[in-house]
Amino acid sequence: MPLPASGQQADLAGASDHPLVGRYEGAVITAHESRAYDEIRLPVTPLERGGRDNRGTWQGEFSGRITSLRYEGPGGRSLLEVMRNHQAELEAKGFAIRLFCRGRDECAPGGSLPDFWAAGRAGIGLPTTWGTTIYLLAERQNAEATVTVAMLGVETKARGDRPLMPHLAVTVVEATPMETGRIAVLAADEMAETLARDGRIAVYGITFEFDSAEITAASADQIAELGRLLGDTPDLAVLIVGHTDGKGGFDYNLSLSQRRAQAVVDRLAAAHGIAAARMTPAGAGMVAPVASNRSEEGRARNRRVEIVEIVR
């Protein structure tokens, strides 16, 4: 069955298909978001026993331009029929199927299908009918970019006048390089003025590798300025506070933000000679956003390191 790219009357206003994916005829778009650059994890193998706490064993890291779509319908068609049509269409366009699995026995033989479902939907809202889960991961490489397509679908049973209904979350990652050099480095004197006025300052020039506490090489200049601030004001004691966006679990983000704050303290002590006793690392996780987590722009503002003056 063809997968036309034309919109349907019931589509979300302003939404459209991704040209490499299309849609199953009669499906409608109920959610759509496009981000110029983001980083996500997606299942690349089934979830085996013991993998729930070791995501690296069954998830891969993907980054680039990300398009997220949610489709509903058409009513009366099985999810398997929808997914097999998409599989055939992707293969016809030169994609290799890296994973196709159905239900607990194939997708999560380790016994945690809800965890697999949560990772595979990549933040796209779906009904929690986990037992009907079908997942597809496809990849196409060429000289320009690598494109990854992840699809996770579930279906809801017929009830009353509502027919059997497939629901599909589609994530397309086009691995284009992130634009760099967009964050201005805050000079030591600027930070000193802001701390004197507000008692705190948000620093965006300190960044970390994806899903890691490893400080990126691009952060060196900003950390050097922070080291100069602390070196020039020997009586200044500070909290180094890590903040994450709202994606992911609460406990995981809290731990990640604490480890990132500690990494900044360790770098300032080792590379710039700042006494560790003057710096207290703290992880705030997702609890203190400065913008909505509903957009990538908002999530980017929430991912930050804050310097808070300690008055003794």
Task: Write the CATH number for 302.
Answer: 3.30.1330.60
* Ranges assigned E (strand) in the chain: 28-43, 59-72, 96-102, 134-141, 146-156, 165-174, 200-203, 237-243, 279-285, 304-310
- Which of 174, 204, 226 corresponds to the end of one domain? 174
Q: Is residue 6 part of a domain?
A: no
Q: Is residue 2 part of a domain?
A: no
More confident residue, 72 or 3: 72
Q: Are residues 111 and 35 in the same domain?
A: yes
Q: Is residue 202 part of a domain?
A: yes
Tokens standing for residue 306:
């804050």
Q: Is residue 15 part of a domain?
A: no
More confident residue, 144 or 108: 108
Question: How many whole angstroms separate alpha carbon 287 and alpha carbon 243?
Answer: 8
pLDDT > 70: percent of the chain: 94
- Residue 178 pLDDT greater than 90, yes or no: no
pLDDT given for residue 143 in this prediction: 63
Residues 220-241 have pLDDT tens digits of 999 999 999 999 999 999 999 9
Q: Are residues 225 and 94 in the same domain?
A: no
Q: Are residues 166 and 44 in the same domain?
A: yes
Q: Are residues 147 and 247 in the same domain?
A: no
Q: Is residue 203 part of a domain?
A: yes
Question: How many whole angstroms separate alpha carbon 250 and alpha carbon 41?
Answer: 17
More confident residue, 115 or 299: 115
Q: Is residue 17 part of a domain?
A: no
Q: Are residues 221 and 289 in the same domain?
A: yes
Instruction: Quote the mean pLDDT of the chain.
Output: 89
pLDDT given for residue 55 in this prediction: 82
Question: How many whole angstroms separate alpha carbon 125 and alpha carbon 199?
Answer: 39
- Which of 149, 174, 199 corresponds to the end of one domain? 174
Q: Are residues 200 and 301 in the same domain?
A: yes
- Which of 174, 205, 237 corresponds to the end of one domain? 174
pLDDT given for residue 238 in this prediction: 95
Q: Are residues 76 and 163 in the same domain?
A: yes
Q: Are residues 159 and 204 in the same domain?
A: no
Query: How far is C-alpha 241 from the geometric centre of its chain's CA atoms?
Result: 21
For the chain, what is the domain count? 2
Q: Is residue 295 part of a domain?
A: yes
Note whether 310 and 268 are within 8 A (CB): no
Residues 260-271 have pLDDT tens digits of 999 999 999 999
Give the CATH number of the domain where residue 132 resides.
3.40.1000
Q: Are residues 33 and 170 in the same domain?
A: yes
- Residue 296 pLDDT greater than 80, yes or no: no
Expressed as residue numbers, the domain containing 196 is 188-310
Q: Is residue 245 part of a domain?
A: yes
Q: Are residues 105 and 145 in the same domain?
A: yes
Residues 76-118 have pLDDT tens digits of 999 999 999 999 999 999 999 999 999 999 999 987 899 999 9
- Residue 293 pLDDT greater than 90, yes or no: no
2 pLDDT tier (thresholds 50, 70, 90): very low
Q: Are residues 227 and 291 in the same domain?
A: yes
pLDDT > 90: percent of the chain: 62
Q: Are residues 152 and 278 in the same domain?
A: no
